Amino acid sequence: MNNVPLLVLELANSGKSKRPSGIREAYFSDPFENRETFLEFLKQLKHPNLNLNDSDSLTINLDEIKLLCETVEQIVFQLISKKEFSLNAITNLNESAKDCCWAHQLSQDGTYSDLFQSGTLAGIIASICVMELAKCDVTRIKTCNRIACGLYFYDTTRNRSARWHDENPCGWRTRSERRK
Ligand SMILES: [Zn+2]
């Protein structure tokens, strides 16, 4: 799961302010402003299962996707705080994931990849979230220790010791604030 952005966490973080390295103030840009901003938000993730070249033919219901994001945030929150999947949220996620049809496609290197054939964008997103939550090690999903940040992240360190969503900026900021 290394280096691949987890759509689950990107969605769960989508309602939070971000303050990347080199930026003075945290800012919030709402990916749900309109169809274009949301597609842009998805495209910059470069997610391997999310090919949006054909996005014109997709049914995109932003309100539905926004609800889905809230469900995903709820799942991640409960995973971290209660160490379990909540049945209600999972039922909602699974229901959304039904609106999507995948095809296994063989690649030249002998592996297969999943390509979506049809469905709504909400269905595709939900379906990817289902795969990710099932495949990833949920004990590695954490909240950034820097209170001002609070972003969810996936700890890829060997000994699961990461406390900040990214060493730079959050770990570095925490240490330089302590020194003051
Ligand atoms: Zn952070």
CA 120 / ligand 1 centre spacing (Å): 32
Residue type, 23: I
Categorize the per-residue pLDDT at 104 as very low, low, confident or very high, splitting at 50, 70 and 90. confident
Q: Which of 89-93, 95-99, 138-142, 162-166 has the lowest mean pLDDT?
A: 162-166
Evaluate if residue 42 carries a pLDDT over 60. Answer: yes
Neighbours of 121 (CB within 10 A): 25
Rounded mean pLDDT of the chain?
A: 88
CA 139 / ligand 1 centre spacing (Å): 18
Strands (E), 13-111: 100-106
**Alpha-helical runs (H) found in the chain:** 7-12, 35-43, 62-82, 87-97, 121-135, 172-179
Predicted pLDDT at 34: 94
Cα–Cα distance measured from residue 22 to residue 62, given in angstroms and rounded to the nearest whole number = 31
Between residues 167 and 61, which one has the greater pLDDT?
A: 61
Could you give the percent of the chain with pLDDT greater than 70?
97
> Domain range spanning residue 42?
7-137
Residue type, 37: T
Q: 22 in a domain, yes or no? A: yes
CA 25 / ligand 1 centre spacing (Å): 13
Q: 163 in a domain, yes or no? A: no
For 121: left if phi > 0, alpha if psi spans -120 to 50, otherwise beta; the answer is: alpha
Q: 178 in a domain, yes or no? A: no
* Residue 151 contacts residue 157 (beta carbons within 8 Å): no
CA 93 / ligand 1 centre spacing (Å): 26
What CA–CA distances, in Å, run from 174 to 142, 151, 155, 158, 169?
17, 14, 18, 22, 9
Q: 176 in a domain, yes or no? A: no
* Residue 92 contacts residue 71 (beta carbons within 8 Å): yes
* pLDDT digits 0-9 by tens, 114-166: 887 778 999 999 999 999 999 999 999 999 998 888 899 999 999 999 999 88
Q: 148 in a domain, yes or no? A: no
* pLDDT digits 0-9 by tens, 160-173: 999 998 877 788 87
Domain count, the chain: 1
